[in-house]
Amino acid sequence: MDKRQLRDRLTASLSRLYEGEAFACLAEFLQGEICALYHLSQSCGAGMNPSTLSEKLRVSRSRITATLSALRRKGFVTLKGSEDDRRRVWVTLTPEGAEFLRRKQQKVEEYFDRLVEGLGEANVMDLIRLIDLSTQIVGA
């Protein structure tokens, strides 16, 4: 098989993987509202300001403002103004937001448990090795 054919098969295979429900669930943790909830959950209840969150998610301040507004409407976060500086806002995860995130994480873990079970340890280790090598090659 020539390089073009290999590239096309690899692209098609990765596309099928990406289009599956398991990776759609995982992708939610890499961008958008669930990614914001995940980062807030990592603050151990301390919360963070929107600018820090926008840096972690690599999105603009206007995008994080829209995301946080949507999460607030859903009852997943609280936004509280600083008593010292009214321009500063502090964002924290609500118990409802934490529970929503926990259910999403559980669903992703179930998909990957199935994948690990189906592939077996040796194939999973090979897959991890190849993914790690791929990220080194493309500089991800």
Res. 40: pLDDT tops 90: yes
Mean pLDDT of 100-105: 94
Res. 140: pLDDT tops 90: no
Tens digit of pLDDT for each residue in 43-97? 887 889 999 999 999 999 999 999 999 999 999 999 987 677 667 889 999 999 9
This model's pTM is above 0.85: no
Res. 27: pLDDT tops 90: no
Q: How far apart are CA 28 and CA 63, in angstroms?
A: 16
Phi, psi of 25 (to 5 degrees): -65, -45
Residue 61 and residue 51 in contact, taking contact as beta carbons nearer than 8 Å: yes
Question: What residue segments make up the domains of the chain, in order of their start?
Answer: 3-138
Mean pLDDT of 94-105: 95
Q: Which CATH architecture has domain 3-138?
A: Orthogonal Bundle (1.10)
Give percent above pLDDT 70 in the chain: 96
pLDDT top residue among 36 and 24:
36
Q: How far apart are CA 46 and CA 91, in angstroms?
A: 9
Mean pLDDT of 6-29: 87
Instruction: Note the pLDDT of residue 73.
Output: 97
Cα 82-86-87 angle, rounded to 5 deg: 105
